[in-house]
Structure 1
Amino acid sequence: MSDRDTFHLPEFLRRFQIMIYTGDPLGDWLMIEDEIRDLLTSKVIDKEEFSLAMKEIDKRKRMYADETQ
């Protein structure tokens, strides 16, 4: 990432070739979270990048929940 203040989730997912689409947006985000946890466990990413990715996913899950209510 060039700018540590800005996290671009699509670029992050592309970097690790993470593409999940099941037709269930919430389920997709949960599966992506699992993949990101695996990256941390494997020490492919550091805790800071993990935290940024998870915060962005949480934000997107909340946006989806708000849209469906």
Structure 2
Amino acid sequence: MKTIYEVQQLLKRFGTFIYTGDRIGDLELMEEELRELNGYGIIDQKEYTAALMVIRGELRKERQK
């Protein structure tokens, strides 16, 4: 998993669509959703870690702007 699009597709598989119009807000909500999915054991640790790294990288880029 290397892009936000791939993270969105992962979340979509579980019925989660996130779009608020605020890029940073969207990324934070995606991170929260991933934590919940991981906490319930719905996604495996490898998917969770990969998606989390992508989101954190994007958050870092957005906050540097």
Normalising by structure 2, we get a TM-score of 0.77
User: Runs of 4+ in structure 1 displaced over 4 angstroms?
Assistant: none
What are the equivalent positions in structure 2 for 1:26-45 lying under 5 Å apart? 26-45=24-43
Distance 2:9 2:29 in 1: 17
Alignment of 1:1-69 (within 5 A): 7=1, 8-66=6-64, 68=65
CA shift at 1:40, angstroms? 0.6
| Structure 2 portions without partners, runs of 5+ | none
Superposed displacement of residue 62, structure 1: 2.0
Q: Alpha-carbon deviation of 1:26?
A: 0.7
Q: Which structure has more helix as a fraction of its residues?
A: 2
Q: Distance in 2 between matches of 1:47 and 1:60?
A: 20
Q: Secondary structure at the match of 1:18?
A: coil
* Higher relative contact order (Cα pairs below 8 Å, separated by 6+ residues): 2
